[in-house]
Structure 1
Amino acid sequence: MRIAHLSDIHFGGENAEAVAAATQCLAADHLDLVVVSGDLTRFGEKGEFASAAAWLKQLPEPRLVTPGNHDAPYLAWHDRLFTPFARYERAIGRARFQTHLSPGLAVYGVNTARGVQPRANWSKGQISEHQVEEALAWFAAAPAEALKIVVCHHPLTEMLGGPMTGKVWRGEAAAKAFAEAGVDLVLTGHIHAPFTWPYGYGDGKTYAAGAGTLSIRERGVPPGFNIIETDAAEMRVTALAWTGSKFESERVWSLSRR
């Protein structure tokens, strides 16, 4: 099985050459799923969403796309307060959750972004107990042998030494619940750097994996995206980095399956 994982395109501040090259790479690939884990726009502006929607139509199907914190309007305060993901839903699709089910693969997208929060930094993440329960109920009805993947924008646990934090409220509890339920991968973005690590819960075979950015908002890491290849024994996550003229493999992680 072969999955592409992209994140943090930030249309309005995208790296146009890297986006175009990534689009060509994906169009020429043989993919079972394309995942985009949020922050399609820079400020949640209507024109940015139009660009994001046009780009998504160029990507192979099937696709699963979940919103990020930048996909709530930054400047339209009424919309941000009362309908933070209305623009996203008009242009892209459902914001609250997303699902994909195909032979051997079960993927559930969770919205960890919020328009407003009772803390100063609204860019950080949240995941409610109800959201976790809904995801686990959906996985319980999926075929037991399927590769189980959660997609959300914010890393549920912090990347050690990462360029920024997610500080997801209830993130640790969600990571524990997903691990104990046998989820295989949790795919995220937000920090603009690729990574993998195992959650320290359950049997140790649930892994977090993050994709970088395709925007000009680099945080010490070149623009890029991930390719995930799986078989019965392992999941291989390859971080592809933009050199200015092409994508090259920057790092490969081999994650053993349960």
Structure 2
Amino acid sequence: MSAPGPAGLVIAHLSDLHLGAHDPDTVESVVADVAAVRPALTVVTGDCTMRARNRQFRQARHLIDRLPAPRLVVLGNHDVPLISVRRLVSPYRRYQVLIEPDLEPVVRLPGLTALGLATAPAWRWKSGRVSRRQSDAVVAVLAAAPLGDVRLLAVHHPPRATGLARVAGRGRLLSALAVARADLVLAGHTHVPASGTVRTAGTSHRLIEVVAGTATSRRTRGVGRSWTVIRIDEEAVHVEERHQSGAGWRTGPVHHWPRRT
């Protein structure tokens, strides 16, 4: 990818809001903190709700609407009803009516092409899956991006996850990302912020995976609440973790990844 404009590109990345198991004060403060970085795009990588209930979706919608636009939001496993007939007959209806009608949303901005995929099929309770059709969509959308665009994929389940959290279809997804010359994969699910590089077996392609922590929920898994700012300039991708500190937020670890040439 060639360099973005002189001011660079800023992306706000939140995940695992878990409205219904959230801290109300954190909701207020994170909206202000995200707005302060003036992102070109705000990405929410799933688990907008705790148990996919109408009231929780309405709370999530209210929060998402207050985040800077444009926004790209993808489905998480907690956004599918847990145990009910609805999981069998209309697993995504509430999400699609109240959050995002498109399970594969696309956002195109000057210098950026972004695609979201739903990696939480109704017949898998926790772990993720990417179908062959979805991998084909990665190639169709991202490979067709204008020359020089940052090519971004947003999913709930991290492709680098291993063990029980491993994404079914991971190999074909990574192959598709290599064909599409993707630059970034944004994910959540673990509630633990992290970033690193991913290489596809048999290719020289390298992309950067950024996992955001939980932004507003009480399910912090020992690391506190956080969200992530991604800044892309001519030289590198800078991944800044924003950690909750008292009533506000502070800069946590910052990771710098060289730009792919």
User: 1:207 offset after TM fit, Å?
Assistant: 1.2
Say whether 1:129 aligns with 2:128: no
User: What is the distance in 1 between the residues matched to 2:77 and 2:102?
Assistant: 12
1:175-209: per-residue Cα shift (whole Å, max 9, x none)? 23313431001000000011111112233530111
- Give the superposition deviation at 1:129: 1.2
TM-score scaled by length of structure 1: 0.92
CA contact (8 A) 2:181 2:205 kept: no
Which of 66, 73, 84 is 2:74 aligned to?
66
Deviation at 1:165, TM superposition (A): 5.3
**More relative contact order, 1 or 2 (CA 8 Å, 6+ apart):** 2
| Percent identical residues | 33
Q: 1:172 to 1:244 in 2, by over 3 A?
A: farther
1:212 CA displacement: 0.2
Moved more, 63-72 or 179-188: 179-188
Instruction: Choose which of 34, 40, 52 in structure 2 pairs with 1:32.
Output: 40
* Residues 1-258 of structure 1 aligned to structure 2 (within 5 Å): 1-75=9-83, 77-117=84-124, 122-158=125-161, 166-201=165-200, 202-214=203-215, 215-258=217-260
- Where 2:44 maps in the other structure, the secondary structure is strand
Answer yes or no: is the 8 Å Cα contact 1:236–1:255 preserved in 2: yes
- What do the CA deviations read for 1:123-181 (whole angstroms, capped 9, x no partner)? 1100011101012111122102100000000011216xxxx953210123312331343
Runs of 4+ in 1 over 6 A off after TM superposition: none
The unaligned stretches of length 5 or more in structure 1 are none
2: distance between equivalents of 1:195 and 1:157? Answer: 11
Superposition deviation, residue 222 in structure 1: 0.7
Do the aligned residues in 2 keep the contact of 1:3 with 1:33 (CA within 8 Å)? yes
Match of 2:3 in 1: none
Q: How many residues align?
A: 249
Q: For 1:190 and 1:56, how far apart are their aligned partners in 2?
A: 18
Cα distance in 1, alignment partners of residues 235 and 181 from structure 2? 15
Q: CA separation in 2, counterparts of 1:247 and 1:30?
A: 16
CA distance in 2: counterparts of 1:165 and 1:196, whole angstroms: 20
Secondary structure, aligned partner of 2:206: coil
Q: Give me the whole-angstrom Cα distance separating, in 2, the residues matched to 1:250 and 1:66.
A: 25
For the Cα contact (< 8 Å) 2:138–2:176, is it kept in 1?
no
> 1:7–1:225: 8 Å Cα contact kept in structure 2?
yes
Contact 1:232 1:257 in 2 (8 A): yes
Say if 1:171 and 1:15 are closer, same or farther in 2 by CA, change over 3 A: farther
1:198-237 CA-to-partner distances (Å, cap 9, x unmatched) read 1122335301110000210011211010000001221101
Q: Secondary structure at the match of 1:64?
A: strand
Corresponding residue SS for 1:199: strand
User: Residues 40 and 173 from structure 1, CA distance in 2 versus in 1: closer, same or farther, beyond 3 angstroms?
Assistant: same
Paired residues of 1:35 and 1:63 also in contact (CA < 8 A)? yes
Note the residue ranges of structure 2 that are not aligned, 5 or more in a row: 1-8
